[in-house]
Structure 1
Amino acid sequence: MTPTAILESALYVTDLDAAEAFYGKVMGLERIARVEGRHVFFRCGNGVLLLFNAEATKVPPEAGARLPVPPHGTIGDGHLCFAASADEIERWRARLEAESIAVEADFEWPNGGRSIYFRDPSGNSLEFAEPRIWGLE
Structure 2
Amino acid sequence: MPRLNRIVETALYVDDLDRARDFYEAKLGLAPLLKTKTLFAYDVGGASVLLLFLRGASLQTQRFDHGSIPPHDGSGSLHIAFAVDAADLAAWEAKLDQLGIPVEGRMQWDRGSKSLYFRDPDGHMLELVTPGLWRTY
TM-score past 0.5 threshold: yes
Contact 2:13–2:52 under 8 Å retained in 1: yes
Sequence identity percentage: 36
Consecutive unaligned residues of structure 2, counting only runs of 5 or more, are none
Residue in 1 aligned with 2:122? 122
The answer to whether residue 7 in structure 2 is matched with residue 6 in structure 1 is yes
- Quote the RMSD (CA, aligned, Å): 1.3
- Partner of 2:26, secondary structure, is helix
Q: How far apart, CA to CA, are the structure 2 residues paired with 1:100 and 1:113?
A: 25
Residue in 2 aligned with 1:44? 44
Residue 136 (structure 1) shift: 3.5
Q: How far apart, CA to CA, are the structure 2 residues paired with 1:61 and 1:136?
A: 35
- Partner of 1:132, secondary structure, is coil
Residue in 2 aligned with 1:93? 93
Residue in 1 aligned with 2:17? 16
Q: How far apart, CA to CA, are the structure 1 residues paired with 2:6 and 2:35?
A: 24
**TM-score normalised by structure 1 residue count:** 0.91
Residue 135 (structure 1) shift: 2.3
Contact 2:103–2:118 under 8 Å retained in 1: yes
Contact 2:10–2:50 under 8 Å retained in 1: yes
Residue 4 (structure 1) shift: 1.6
Higher helix share: 1
Q: How far apart, CA to CA, are the structure 2 residues paired with 1:72 and 1:114?
A: 33
Contact 2:117–2:125 under 8 Å retained in 1: yes
